[in-house]
Structure 1
């Protein structure tokens, strides 16, 4: 697949369809119920889930089928937090028995998880730049979007 990833219809509607391109009237509409937090997440990941899930669901950016994407972000967040805690307890550079100096494995883990988090944050609208494309009035989100969808006989 070439070019940019298509913008989800929900995000187009929330942003006011700035490109004025046709709205996909046949896009599947998953259940808007708030997904439950997966039990396998570590404690820091569960705390991040609780912090984000309700607000994302309220503005229509989190549905039942998005559960895995948010869980993956939260788990990366939890691992990043754990790696950062370990980095506070251990030096960043370690001297190996052979005499070589190398980075702490915790630094490698923290950096990798931060990269993964950044990808998920962009997908979920959790960065300042991805949010800047949205114009959301949380109190009016559902009726406004419902009215727009009604135009397309959905």
Structure 2
């Protein structure tokens, strides 16, 4: 889960003049800039939601051809949420089960689940669409180089000169000027590191 405030989409930040003056994600993927078609299997309320959002998101440079399934899933969750809310308006929130116990209406559970799904699609798939600015393309180079960690022994030799040598593995002799052995400690070699 991402921490902190979700970033604004890059397209919106550029349109608004980048008010925070923070840099853009140079590795943000750029999918084909085409308007996706509404899938025919969507329910009527979902198709209405598609018609309401698709052109607006496309005009904002947030929706692309590759976002079709994500927008369709969001719209279908929206359609099911609308249906559950309509049914919930016709029935009481609490119902008596055949066993005699009082329980929440199943439509309330459906409505809540669809709201949860809608939120996931909006946030995680870029449909809010703030999440898009955090997506990195695999082909884009990293902006900052990877830092190499080296463990060194720093000492003064017999002439008082500062000497830096790579740290030997545990149990091997230190440089002759010290005459001591490296204690049994864990030494991490760059080849042992997984980045």
TM-score, scaled to structure 2: 0.56
More relative contact order, 1 or 2 (CA 8 Å, 6+ apart)? 1
| Structure 2 unmatched runs, 5+ | 131-195
The change in CA–CA distance for 1:118 and 1:100 in structure 2 (over 3 A counts) is same
Relative to total residues, which structure has the larger helix share, 1 or 2?
A: 1
Partner of 1:13: 14
Q: Which position in structure 2 is the counterpart of 1:86?
A: 87
Q: Report what 1:69 is aligned to.
A: 70
Which residue in the other structure is 1:22 paired with? 23
Q: Please list, as runs of the form range in 1=range in 2, the aligned pairs for 1:86-125 lying within 5 A after superposition.
A: 86-122=87-123, 123-125=126-128
State the match for 1:37 in structure 2. Answer: 38
CA distance in 1 between counterparts of 2:116 and 2:19 reads 29
Aligned to 2:156: none
Q: Which structure: larger Rg?
A: 2
Partners of 2:25 and 2:101 lie apart in 1 by 58
Count of aligned pairs between the two proteins: 127
Q: Which residue of 1 aligns with 2:133?
A: none
Structure 1: segments with no counterpart, 5+ residues: 131-154
Q: Name the TM-score, length of structure 1 as normaliser.
A: 0.69
Q: Does the aligned pair in 1 maintain the 2:80–2:111 contact within 8 Å?
A: yes
Q: Give the distance between the partners of 1:95 and 1:114, measured in 2 at CA.
A: 25
Structure with higher strand content: 2
Task: Judge which range, 79-88 or 3-12, deviates more.
Answer: 3-12
3-state SS of the aligned residue for 2:92? coil
